Structures are given as structure tokens and as C-alpha cells.
Amino acid sequence: MLPIGGLKQKVLAAHAAGLSDAIVPLRNQHDLDDVPAEVRKRMHFHVVASVDEVLAIALEPIAVAKAALFGRPSTACRFDSRSSRSGR
């Protein structure tokens, strides 16, 4: 996996947008030292060496995806589609 440029700015923008997790290439791990300590404390960084690791982190588990596609609530799913139909 190749390193990215502007990690600090990307992390600060993600934090400002309310995100709590970020996926960081292994070759950029040392760049996390440039991120303010307060931001580092509030975020969780997934340092990865391969695209397989990125996909495992970024994609929903199959049970959640199926529930979203087919309208069947799953125990792994935080969103219950039935509540949106009733207007609650």
C-alpha cells in the first residue's frame, strides 16, 4: 500500500466532520505524530498494510449489508428499518 500525502490535514478534516475512525497506510504511521494530541485521543486509527485490511475495516459485515438490502433486521445492524416506516 502506498503512502498518502497530507495526512494531518485529512485527519483534521475528518475530525471536524465528526468522524471517529480513520484508516491510515502503514507507511504514513509516523505522520500521525503531526496530528494534535487532542485529536489523536478522540479518534481511532486503523493502520493497515494491505487493501484487504482496508476492505475488512471499511465494508459492512455481510449480515448488515443483507439486512439493508432485503429489509430484514439483523442483530449486527444498528438501524431498524421498521422504525423509519412508522414515522418514529
Query: Which pLDDT score, from 0 to 100, does residue 63 have?
Result: 73
- Assign 21 to helix, strand or coil: strand
Read off the pLDDT of residues 42-77 as tens digits, 9 standing for 90 and up.
999 999 999 999 999 998 777 777 777 887 654 544
Query: Which pLDDT score, from 0 to 100, does residue 46 have?
Result: 97
Residue 78 has pLDDT above 60, yes or no: no
Residue 77 cell numbers, joined: 445492524
* Residue 42 contacts residue 15 (beta carbons within 8 Å): yes
Q: What is the mean pLDDT of the chain?
A: 84
pTM: 0.69
Question: Is 3.30.1490.100 the CATH number for 7-82?
Answer: no
